[in-house]
Amino acid sequence: MKSSDRSLLERLAGRAASPTGRLTLLALVYFLAARLGLAFIVQPEGFAIIWPAGGVALAALLLSPPRQWPAMLAVVFVANMLANLTSGNNLAVSLGFALANSLEPALCAGLMARWPGGRISFSRLVDVLGLVAAAALVNGATALVGALVPTLGFGASYWRTWAYWWISDGLGILIVTPLIVTWIRSGTLRSIAKPARQAENLAWVLLLSVAAWFIFGVDESGLLPEPHPYMLYPLLVWATLRFSPRASAAALALATIVSLVGTVAGTGSYPLGGDALASRLVAVQGFFCVASLTTLVLAAVLVERRKAEATLRQSEARYRELFENINSGVAVYQVIDDGRDFIFKDFNRAGERIDHQPRAELLGRSIFEARPGIEQFGLIDAFRQVWRTGQPVNHPVKLYQDERLSGWYENFIYKLPSGEIVTVFENLTERKQAEAEHERLLAELERKNRELESVIFIASHDLRSPLINIQGFGKNLRKYFELLSNILDGADTLETFRRVAQPVLVERVPNALRFIESSSAKMDVLIDGLLRLSRIGRIPLQIQPVDMSLLIQTLLDSLAFQIEQANAQVDVHGPLAGCRGDKNQLGQVFSNLLDNALKYRDPQRPLVITIACQVSGQEAIYSVADTGLGIPAEVQAKIWEIFRRLDESGSVPGEGLGLTIARRIVERHEGRLWVESQPGAGSCFYVALPAAEGIDP
Ligand code: ADP
């Protein structure tokens, strides 16, 4: 228990509660209560008719762990003996009373520890019922023993004594025990500390005192000629409903004290039982037994109800908290008409965020209306299945689209005991897109790897032939030198040497050197090409809108001489749509295409070069068409390979690198480059690039 939950009294009691402190306190309170009881001796039975001490003893036991009970009972026994002896009873009678009065709380507490058990606080109905059982049955049984004492000691009537004992101890238990236990144990003093509540309490205590005094104290006015104790009920019930078991116990105690004082003083409206004080006291006690039972039961039932309500409120708050703060969307649907329609009943914050829609727009609407096309999504079938079988269903990631929403959704569907259907949903569009991007990158990586492999393969293949030349002619040179040195060794005159060595020196050696030179020049060209290709992939792109009409015109101007030489006709179907790209690199692409169109012309027919553009969706597709040689279909795929030339004769100059570089550049722009061609008719090269807004023709 947290210290703030402990009442002030409990804390005080706890502090005073060293075991000895507790026992001393018990001895003192018990002794005083017993002396109070002994002030109300009835004759001729000669024993107390009011017995609050029994309630004190039982409360003390209920507030302590059973291992402390023996010591407490010993204290009760001694205090009882002392109270009896000091009020004039002889030793034997005192001993008898002390025994019976110790037996009674021991048995009552023993019963209540077993049933209801737990922590007795009188805020459970079972606590009150246990107390009633103790007061009625256990106390009734111990009274059988206790009544022997006056019967044997003073010759009193046994059954009359038994009845007095039963009622007086019963009331002592019913009034005093809850009073002490609830005040020491239940709740805090905080509620009382509020000023408004304090004023209300005070007003109520005053009202109750006045009413009790009016009913039980003053009867000289003649206002209430008949007994009217029932008039206290509204006040007691009020205390019970408004306050707590503690307040109801206190109210009862207060009213009991007032009524006892009044009755003893011979006033009050309780003349039942005739003039004999004992009979009147018994009547008062009977009334309060019933009143106490009623209010205690009422208070306990109320506390239980409040607790249940608080638990319900807490669980509702917990549900709401969970519902609103969970990161997945949650929608609750009410099902109508045999699972035909599903109406939005609740929709959480995450759902609002995921679907970009405030819940107010959804609540009360049918899913068919709010999510048109939901049936194609497959969710309704899953709903109906869950609704029929009660088994949860996971509706996998699927694409949902209507005029407002579009995305990949996953739903987990289950049924509530109320019959409502719940979906917990996620929008996995971003994940789907990331997956698609991931797959695209993987495919690109694979393609690049293949391309790199082919570049390496072709490059190493093409580099090998000049290298083999160099190696071969290098070997030849070595041979020639060996030959020359042998000749030199064998020749006796310079004349002889010159004659034999001349052909080697004049023909073979220069020949070999020429081959070595041309092969290394070829290697230089190849390596230079490779470097250019690799550089193209590394130069950062300066992407910007490109005016293609201007770019093509500039290129045509720089090719004016070659165009004239080729006697070519160039048609530009302009203005050309703009695109987004790196102006310099795109310049290289189109320069290469125009260059090739001019180079690979067919001498049989005039060359016409046509440049055009078409915008399709996000793409601007440029075409460079010629009426040249054309490319056979089976080799069209080869022309993009590095150093690949269709005509190896060398009649047309070139390195076989232009289209490789062009395609690399276009792909870096996330565009496409391809060819359509027919030998004997001509070729058309297409370049698709991201279209630029604002530079459209
Ligand atoms: P290069 O022009 O240096 O040979 P390219 O990579 O530009 O290298 O071209 C590769 C090959 O593709 C050329 O050698 C040629 O055989 C063929 N080719 C390119 N453009 C055309 C064209 N417009 N018409 C016919 N063949 C072409």
Give the amino acid at 668: R
371-393 pLDDT tens trace: 998 988 999 999 999 999 999 99
Q: How far is the CA of 592 from the centre of ligand 1 (A)?
A: 9
pLDDT at 495 over 70: yes
Q: CA-based angle 656:642:690, to the nearest 5?
A: 95
Residue 196: alpha-carbon gap to chain centroid: 42
For a ligand 1 pocket test, name from 458, 530, 600 the mutation site with the most ligand atoms within 8 angstroms of its C-beta.
600
Query: What is residue 227's predicted lDDT score, i.e. its pLDDT?
Result: 63
- Give mean pLDDT, residues 510-514: 93
Query: What is residue 192's predicted lDDT score, i.e. its pLDDT?
Result: 52
Q: How far is the CA of 566 from the centre of ligand 1 (A)?
A: 16
Greater model confidence, 540 or 244: 540
Q: Does the beta carbon of 645 lie inside 6 Å of ligand 1?
A: yes
pLDDT at 498 over 70: yes
338-376 pLDDT tens trace: 888 999 999 999 999 999 999 999 999 999 999 998 988
Q: How many CB atoms lie within 10 A of CB 82?
A: 17
Query: What is residue 4's predicted lDDT score, i.e. its pLDDT?
Result: 45
Q: What is the DSSP string of 226-257?
A: S--GGGGHHHHHHHHHHS-HHHHHHHHHHHHH
Q: Are the CB atoms for 240 and 295 separated by under 8 Å?
A: yes
Q: How many CB atoms lie within 10 A of CB 687?
A: 27
Q: How far is the CA of 616 from the centre of ligand 1 (A)?
A: 27
Q: Does the beta carbon of 384 lie inside 6 Å of ligand 1?
A: no
Residue 170 host element (H or E): helix 158-171
pLDDT at 650 over 50: yes
Residue holding tokens 């079988």? 389
Convert 73-99 into a string of H (helix), E (strand) and C (coil).
Answer: HHHHHHHHHHHHHHCCCCHHHHHHHHH
What atom of ligand 1 comes closest to residue 630's alpha carbon? 25
Contact residues for 11 (Cβ-Cβ < 8 A; gap 6+)? 3
Ligand 1: which residue has its CA nearest to atom 4? 656
Q: How far is the CA of 597 from the centre of ligand 1 (A)?
A: 8
Q: Are the CB atoms for 425 and 437 separated by under 8 Å?
A: no
Q: Does the beta carbon of 654 lie inside 6 Å of ligand 1?
A: yes
Cis peptide bond upstream of 679, omega within 30: no
What atom of ligand 1 comes closest to residue 626's alpha carbon? 23
Burial profile 402-414: b = 16 or more Cβ within 10 angstroms, e = fewer: eeebebbbbbbbe
Q: Does the beta carbon of 529 lie inside 6 Å of ligand 1?
A: no
- Give mean pLDDT, residues 42-51: 79
Q: Does the beta carbon of 105 lie inside 6 Å of ligand 1?
A: no
Q: Of 688, 691, 662, 651, which Cα lies nearest the Cα of 594? A: 662
For a ligand 1 pocket test, name from 627, 639, 649 the mutation site with the most ligand atoms within 8 angstroms of its C-beta.
639
Q: Does the beta carbon of 240 lie inside 6 Å of ligand 1?
A: no
149-171 pLDDT tens trace: 988 888 888 998 899 899 899 98
3-state secondary structure of 173: helix
Q: How far is the CA of 672 from the centre of ligand 1 (A)?
A: 18
417-445 pLDDT tens trace: 999 999 999 999 999 999 999 999 999 89
Q: How far is the CA of 516 from the centre of ligand 1 (A)?
A: 28
> Percentage of the chain surpassing pLDDT 70?
93
Q: Does the beta carbon of 676 lie inside 6 Å of ligand 1?
A: no
Q: Does the beta carbon of 165 lie inside 6 Å of ligand 1?
A: no
Query: What is residue 695's predicted lDDT score, i.e. its pLDDT?
Result: 46
Tell me the pLDDT of the chain averaged across its residues: 88
pTM: 0.59
- Give mean pLDDT, residues 275-297: 83
- Give mean pLDDT, residues 77-96: 93
Residue 581 host element (H or E): strand 579-581
Q: Label residue 7 by pLDDT band (50, 70, 90).
A: low
Q: How far is the CA of 639 from the centre of ligand 1 (A)?
A: 6
Ligand 1: which residue has its CA nearest to atom 7? 658
Ligand 1: which residue has its CA nearest to atom 8? 656
Burial of 420 (0-12, 13-18, 19+ CB in 10 A): middle
- Give mean pLDDT, residues 41-66: 88
Bridge partners (DSSP) of residue 336 are 341
Distance between CA 443 and CA 438 in Å, rounded?
Answer: 9
Burial of 143 (0-12, 13-18, 19+ CB in 10 A): buried
Q: Label residue 3 by pLDDT band (50, 70, 90).
A: very low
Q: Label residue 282 by pLDDT band (50, 70, 90).
A: confident
Q: How far is the CA of 262 from the centre of ligand 1 (A)?
A: 128
Q: Does the beta carbon of 684 lie inside 6 Å of ligand 1?
A: no
Q: Does the beta carbon of 639 lie inside 6 Å of ligand 1?
A: yes
Ligand 1: which residue has its CA nearest to atom 11? 645
Q: Does the beta carbon of 282 lie inside 6 Å of ligand 1?
A: no
Query: What is residue 2's predicted lDDT score, i.e. its pLDDT?
Result: 41
Q: Does the beta carbon of 657 lie inside 6 Å of ligand 1?
A: yes
Q: Does the beta carbon of 619 lie inside 6 Å of ligand 1?
A: no
Burial profile 501-527: b = 16 or more Cβ within 10 angstroms, e = fewer: beeeeeebbeebeebbeebeebbeebe
Distance between CA 334 and CA 419 in Å, rounded?
Answer: 8
Q: How far is the CA of 538 from the centre of ligand 1 (A)?
A: 24
- Give mean pLDDT, residues 115-132: 91
Distance between CA 671 and CA 613 in Å, rounded?
Answer: 14
- Give mean pLDDT, residues 503-522: 92
Q: Does the beta carbon of 532 lie inside 6 Å of ligand 1?
A: no
Q: CA-based angle 146:151:152, to the nearest 5?
A: 100
CA distances (Å), 566 to each of 562, 563, 606, 648, 683, in order?
Answer: 6, 5, 9, 21, 17
What atom of ligand 1 comes closest to residue 659's alpha carbon? 6
Q: Does the beta carbon of 647 lie inside 6 Å of ligand 1?
A: yes
pLDDT at 478 over 90: yes
Q: Label residue 244 by pLDDT band (50, 70, 90).
A: confident
Q: Does the beta carbon of 545 lie inside 6 Å of ligand 1?
A: no
Phi and psi dihedrals of 491, rounded to 5?
-80, 130
Query: What is residue 418's predicted lDDT score, i.e. its pLDDT?
Result: 92
Q: How far is the CA of 521 from the centre of ligand 1 (A)?
A: 22
Q: Does the beta carbon of 658 lie inside 6 Å of ligand 1?
A: yes
Distance between CA 270 and CA 216 in Å, rounded?
Answer: 7
Q: How far is the CA of 507 from the centre of ligand 1 (A)?
A: 37
pLDDT at 562 over 50: yes
Q: Is the CA virtual torsion 549, 552, 554, 559 positive or negative?
A: negative
Q: Are the CB atoms for 571 and 611 separated by under 8 Å?
A: yes
